Amino acid sequence: MVDKQRRRLVRALGVLGLCLVVVAAEPVFRALSGGDADVAPLFSGAAVADAALASSGDDAATAIDRALAGSAFGDGARRTASEAPPWFSEEVLSLEGVRDLRANEDWSVVGFSVSGDSDDALDQIRNQCEERGWTLVESGAVGSFTAVKEGGRVPWLLFSCIAVGEETCVVLQVPAA
């Protein structure tokens, strides 16, 4: 039993080490490539958007939709609140009034936009979660929370809010059902 745990720990540390090497390699890559200050960081949403725009003649929204087609959202990621399964609005959040709603097939990853700053959106989501019986815990990252609840179909969820211009983008993750 101890050997099995030790092997798991060594593998986990190996994966963590590999991640750290990749992250540490970005500045080296930038320095070797000339360090263009106008280029987005290698591991950012802006870098993905820049790459999508550079590889197509489309406008920004179409290029980003194409880039997302291969992601966790897959084809047909755009949704309406009425498409949400009943358990989502009962146990997680009401999606009334949200814009740019996207979700994968099993609604385990959901993203949307709301008007206003991230503090307001965060307060609204926290209130809805608490009304549905969730216990929220700050994750340590600004605007991100983990929530747990006893009973029901969804035992935990993760969400984050980030301001983008005059709107706030919200991403939720729940266990796949």
Q: What does the pLDDT read at residue 176?
A: 83
Q: Taking the domains of the chain in order of start, what are their residue ranges?
A: 1-173
Q: Specify the pTM.
A: 0.57
Higher pLDDT, 134 or 13: 134
**Sheet with 167-173, side-by-side order of all strands:** 99-103, 109-115, 167-173, 156-164, 144-148, 135-138
Stretch 32-49: mean pLDDT = 53
**Element housing 2 (H / E):** helix 2-32
DSSP string, 84-152: S-HHIIIII---TT-EEEEE-TTSSEEEEEEES-HHHHHHHHHHHHHHTT-EEEE-SSTTEEEEE-SSS
Q: In sequence order, what are the residues at sequence separation of 6 or more whose Cβ sits closer than 8 angstroms to the Cβ of residue 47? A: 39, 40, 41
3-state DSSP call for residue 6? helix
Q: What does the pLDDT read at residue 116?
A: 83
Q: How far apart are CA 99 and CA 42, in angstroms?
A: 28
Q: What does the pLDDT read at residue 75?
A: 46
- pLDDT tens, position by position, 62-77: 655 555 555 544 445 7
